[in-house]
A and B are shown apart, each in its own frame.
Chain A
Amino acid sequence: MNAALLRWVHDLSVQGIILTDEQLLVRFCNGWLEKQIGTKESDLIGRHLFDIFPELKTRGVDRYYFEAINGQSRVLSHRLHKYLLPMAPSSGVGTFAQMQQSARISPLYEEDRIVGTITVIDDVTERVIREMELNAQLEERGRLLSSELAARELAEANSRIKDEFLATVSHEIRAPLNAITGWTQLLLNGQLDEARSHHALDTIQRNVKSQAQIIEDLLDISRIVAGQMRLDLQPLNLTESIEAAIESVSPAAVAKNIQLIQSAPSQPVFIMGDGGRLQQILWNLLANAVKFTPGGGMVETALREIDGFAELTVRDNGQGIRADFLPFVFDRFRQAEGGSKRKAGGLGLGLSIVRNLVEMHGGVIAVESRGEGSGTVFTISLPLLIAEKDRSGSGRMGKRTDDSDAHDISGCRILIVEDDKDSREMLGILLEAFNAETMMAATATEALGQMPRFKPDILISDLGMPEIDGYDLIKQIRTLTPDQGGRVPAIALTGFAGAEEMKRVHSAGFDMHLSKPIDQDKLIKAVNQLRHKNL
């Protein structure tokens, strides 16, 4: 029976089995193991185990055999040992140098006496590969899950920022409206004396301006996002632009007793820039500095030329910026104090617009703050206009014309088409104040009737009108001969100047568009510019 069992183990077992006596001389080795180590059992019998496999000693595994002789069984897990006996890996499986094994070494008892050891070896190569594949899949799944979670968190954060932004927008738009509505009501009721009426009008004007600013900012951001922001680049003296910006914030600074300190090179510093946009950049930085600096503080601007760049620093000793908010200062819709806690007004768009405008000028903007309470430094670097060598003279360059020339529209014949009576009258009074000759039309039909008689130099038309709107009007005018006024330069007045709208305005035949509410300065300059174009 024993012989039959041993025969079975030798021939049929798919594990490696090796038996030794108490001297560790090999007494049995089964067929599976013979095949794997490539040595016949007859060549192994009677040899010392450590002579056949010297690696057992060098790897310190020999001690388990001594323990087995002392009566201890020992499990050798694959993960901690990789293999027991060096054997070639099963063919076609994996990339291991050795067959991957787990093993057991036990004492061999005859009745109560230990007579030797038995070693049983399993080939676990396939199992190990399966586990590795499974673990790789689990890891991949975990990685996907965590990246999905991160994406969701980001989306949620963005949506939260936008919600806060919308709340801010509605607050910022509503607040000036309250003031405007309230004071207008009082004025209409006729309850105010002259001094109070004046105060009311001042307040209304200030609030209108602030609302116009908000809408401008929103439109700017929409242009930037859509890539529709265009700059009208001209050579200009940065020193002058800074002075102008300082002048515009000085009333606010004076009111808070904030000292404005300016330093600049004695010679003009020329860059290529869009005058209006540059003002916007400088005004934003300075206005922010004044806004966040407590009364009695200081705002300092310093301009210098360095390595082909004009470098402007705006430094204040105000409340500073928290380190954790610093990286987000130029992000859209971000304010350090979000939601209901916010103390400062505004939309949180200013600095984002500033950064975009600076970058469109080929420059960079940076911010530094040592934290709350220790002030903030904004630094803008803009490329110098290298071609300019002659720095003497007035500081005005090239095509740039004097402001007084830019406002000369005297004698200009202007046809105003506007269905809203108040707006029409306002435009007429404004243009006549600059000595222009004006003619009013309340409808497009009326305007078309006046064209041959009045022969306008410039046409200013509203877009939204009943029956024939501004677009159809200009299309009809453009079908006329030059003598009939078919080429008259035309300005569209638009209430909603999105990028799409602008495209439509120009393709209909207008040369320019101005958004409502009309800025007097811009209107006059536009008329002047188109008038010269036509000459």
Chain B
Amino acid sequence: MMLTERQSDALGEFINIAFSRTASSLSEITGQRVLLDVPQVEIYPIDKVATNLARFLPGDVASIHQPFDGSIAGDAFLILNYEGAVRLTDLLTDGGSPQPQLDESAREVLTEVGNILLNACLGMFGNILQVRVSFTVPSLHLESLDGLIDSIKKERDGLRYAIIVYTSFRIRESSVKGYLVLVLSVVSLNRLISEIESWEDRQNESIHTSTNPEASSLEN
């Protein structure tokens, strides 16, 4: 499935808003300036996800998984390589010397980071797109990328697509790469794209009435 340039821009902008909300939440909780780089967004059929991610995630991965349901349904993942996951928790918690392993407390931190990011994205479905989705507490998994992809494939049937968002967390002059993956059915993806398009139309209309369109949208 190919996106038009306009669709791609709109999707990027939509995710940007979610990411900037995530960054400000993380900054507030940790008391440190956290930035999330402007993400690059790509869409692949589910079968191609493994090959595309394998370039960036050669070893074990830490993934935070949050399924969601409603008129748009699917699975949302935040994926980090293991070493990146260790570094991210160290940077966020400033817990003295760097730890070689993720202990239970570090796993909790990762789960919360994923929780914040995925809530921001999925929350926007409800708040901005006015699409009703429900989602539960996310879960953390440590496994190989292949294992993760297998579990995604097994989750639901039918042709599905993955929106992959490449980004990096920047904290205290360090950066950790992360991947947000939204796995959607064709129907859900079409629905999402068309909702985002009409959201963008509303945005453009509101430019004429407001100097800060994003703020007015967020307050919906």
Chain A CB within 8 A of B74 CB: no
> What residues of B have a CB within 8 angstroms of the CB of A73 in the complex?
115, 119, 135-138
Q: Are B29 and A127 within 8 A (Cβ)?
A: no
CA distance A112 to B70 in the complex (A): 10
Chain A CB within 8 A of B103 CB: yes
Segment at the A interface, from B41-49, B91-99, B154-162, B167-175: B91-99
Chain A CB within 8 A of B134 CB: yes
> What residues of B have a CB within 8 angstroms of the CB of A131 in the complex?
103-105
Q: Are A78 and B103 within 8 A (Cβ)?
A: no
Chain A CB within 8 A of B52 CB: no
Q: Are B137 and A75 within 8 A (Cβ)?
A: yes
CA distance A116 to B118 in the complex (A): 22
Partner of B106, one of A67, A79, A106, A138: A79
Partner of A75, one of B104, B123, B138: B138
> What residues of A have a CB within 8 angstroms of the CB of B137 in the complex?
73-75, 104, 106
Q: Are B115 and A75 within 8 A (Cβ)?
A: yes
> What residues of B have a CB within 8 angstroms of the CB of A77 in the complex?
105, 108-109, 111-112
Q: Are A75 and B108 within 8 A (Cβ)?
A: yes
Q: Which of A126-145 contact B (CB under 8 A)?
A: 127-128, 131, 134-135, 138-139, 142
How far, in Å, is A124 (CB) from chain B's closest CB? Answer: 7
Chain B CB within 8 A of A301 CB: no
Partner of B112, one of A72, A80, A112, A138: A80
> What residues of B have a CB within 8 angstroms of the CB of A78 in the complex?
105, 108
CA distance A131 to B93 in the complex (A): 14
Q: Are B108 and A67 within 8 A (Cβ)?
A: no
**Residue ID in chain A nearest B100 by CB atoms:** A138
> What residues of A have a CB within 8 angstroms of the CB of B97 in the complex?
135, 138-139, 142
Mask: chain A, 56-76; 1 = CB below 8 Å from B; 0 = not: 000010000001001111111
Query: What is the predominant secondary structure among interface residues of chain B facing chain A?
Result: helix
How far, in Å, is B97 (CB) from chain A's closest CB? Answer: 5
How far, in Å, is B40 (CB) from chain A's closest CB? Answer: 26
> What residues of B have a CB within 8 angstroms of the CB of A104 in the complex?
137
Q: What is the number of residues of chain A that contact chain B, defined by CB distance less than 8 Å?
A: 28
CA distance A104 to B134 in the complex (A): 16
CA distance A27 to B89 in the complex (A): 36
How far, in Å, is A425 (CB) from chain B's closest CB? Answer: 76
Q: Are B126 and A70 within 8 A (Cβ)?
A: yes
Chain B CB within 8 A of A381 CB: no
Q: Are A72 and B100 within 8 A (Cβ)?
A: no
Mask: chain A, 139-161; 1 = CB below 8 Å from B; 0 = not: 10010000000000000000000
> What residues of A have a CB within 8 angstroms of the CB of B190 in the complex?
none
How far, in Å, is A263 (CB) from chain B's closest CB? Answer: 56
Partner of B126, one of A71, A112, A127, A134: A71
> What residues of B have a CB within 8 angstroms of the CB of A138 in the complex?
97, 99-100
Q: Are A79 and B95 within 8 A (Cβ)?
A: yes
CA distance A459 to B97 in the complex (A): 74
How far, in Å, is B32 (CB) from chain A's closest CB? Answer: 11
Chain B CB within 8 A of A109 CB: yes
**Residue ID in chain B nearest A128 by CB atoms:** B105
Q: Are A76 and B112 within 8 A (Cβ)?
A: yes
Q: A73-B115, A73-B136 are in contact. Are A102 and B108 (CB under 8 A)?
A: yes
CA distance A102 to B104 in the complex (A): 11
> What residues of B have a CB within 8 angstroms of the CB of A127 in the complex?
104-105
CA distance A60 to B115 in the complex (A): 17
> What residues of A have a CB within 8 angstroms of the CB of B133 in the complex?
71
CA distance A311 to B207 in the complex (A): 83
Q: Are B105 and A109 within 8 A (Cβ)?
A: no
> What residues of B have a CB within 8 angstroms of the CB of A109 in the complex?
134
Mask: chain B, 48-82; 1 = CB below 8 Å from A; 0 = not: 00000000000000000000000000000000000
Mask: chain A, 341-370; 1 = CB below 8 Å from B; 0 = not: 000000000000000000000000000000
> What residues of B have a CB within 8 angstroms of the CB of A112 in the complex?
134
Q: Which 9 A/B pairs are nearest by Cβ-Cβ distance?
A: A77-B108, A77-B112, A73-B137, A77-B109, A75-B115, A75-B112, A79-B105, A79-B109, A79-B93
Q: Please, could you name 7 A-B residue pairs with CB atoms under 8 Å apart, sorted by A?
A: A72-B119, A73-B119, A77-B108, A79-B95, A81-B29, A124-B104, A127-B104
